[in-house]
Amino acid sequence: DQQVKQNSPSLSVQEGRISILNCDYTNSMFDYFLWYKKYPAEGPTFLISISSIKDKNEDGRFTVFLNKSAKHLSLHIVPSQPGDSAVYFCAATLGNMEYGNKLVFGAGTILRVKS
Amino acid sequence: GAVVSQHPSRVICKSGTSVKIECRSLDFQATTMFWYRQFPKKSLMLMATSNEGSKATYEQGVEKDKFLINHASLTLSTLTVTSAHPEDSSFYICSARLPWDKTNYGYTFGSGTRLTVV
């Protein structure tokens, strides 16, 4: 059962425009969500996160929106830059000691920013 | 800060041999580390959670006798793929929780190990 889904395997955007990456989840108990960026043959690097008690978190060019009722979150990158081209993973977890703070990852979306 | 060093970055081994992958936290003590496996164009799949000084907790479907995890110190966790077969070829990534992160959700990742079994 895939609890975190990224239904778009890839996205292509023109430099300077907005990139919107989407993520859906099924477990309503998740209370924290994270976005990671990953280059080939490297480990993921943290981008931005959001708690379930918020609906928006912004950090520079990156904004994450959370719609709890729809179990949906999105990452907005604006303006997009060629260096943003990478695989973006959405991850979720819940703050439960029994759960062990494990991250559940989506399948990732390949973002290509064209110059 | 918060660097996790994973070694080796790439390894090729013969079928039937064992391979050890190391994950070290360089500037902090990692009581909890996670081991992931990534198949091509697939998500990162959690294999196991390793806690310093105790047995690792494996996810359903992961063979604990095949993927041996040792977390003997606060700065080192190892994953040994025993009797490797071509289907074990994959990208393995370790991750450590950041003990000072106030959200309790801070993680840092190693750079990964590309294992190829021939």
Q: What tens-digit pLDDT sequence spans chain A (115 residues)?
A: 679 999 999 999 999 999 999 999 999 989 899 999 999 888 899 999 999 999 999 999 999 999 999 999 999 999 999 999 999 999 998 766 555 667 889 999 999 999 9
Distance CA A28, CA B30 (A): 29
B107 pLDDT band, cuts 50/70/90, is confident
Highest mean pLDDT among A99-103, B5-9, B50-54: B5-9
pLDDT in the model for residue A52: 92
pLDDT in the model for residue A60: 97
Structure tokens at B96: 């450590």
pLDDT in the model for residue A1: 64
Could you tell me if B60 lies within 8 Å of chain A, comparing CB atoms?
Answer: no
pLDDT in the model for residue B51: 86
| E strand segments, chain B | 4-7, 10-13, 19-25, 32-38, 44-51, 57-58, 67-73, 76-81, 90-97, 107-109, 113-117
Residues in chain A closer than 8 A to B10 (CB atoms): 41
Residues in chain A closer than 8 A to B6 (CB atoms): 43
B16 pLDDT band, cuts 50/70/90, is very high
Residues B58-68: pLDDT tens digits?
Answer: 999 999 999 99
pLDDT in the model for residue A95: 65
In angstroms, the separation between the Cα of residue B110 and the nearest Cα of chain A is 5
Contacts of B44 (CB under 8 A, 6+ apart): A44, A89, A103, A105, B36, B37, B38, B93
In angstroms, the separation between the Cα of residue B50 and the nearest Cα of chain A is 10
Q: Tell me the C-alpha to C-alpha distance, in Å, between residue B114 and each of A36, A63, B36.
A: 19, 32, 12
Of A87, A61, A63, which is closest to residue A73 (Cα–Cα)? Answer: A63
Residue B103 clears pLDDT 60, i.e. is over it: no
Structure tokens at B29: 């003590």
Each residue of A16-31: b (16+ CB within 10 Å) or e? eeebbbbbbbeeeebb
Chain B residue with Cα closest to A49:
B105
Highest mean pLDDT among B10-14, B37-41, B95-99: B10-14
Residue B104 clears pLDDT 80, i.e. is over it: no
pLDDT in the model for residue B84: 96
Chain A residue with Cα closest to B105:
A101
Chain A residue with Cα closest to B114:
A41
Contacts of A91 (CB under 8 A, 6+ apart): A4, A33, A34, A35, A36, A103, A104, A105, A106
pLDDT in the model for residue A42: 86
pLDDT in the model for residue B28: 86
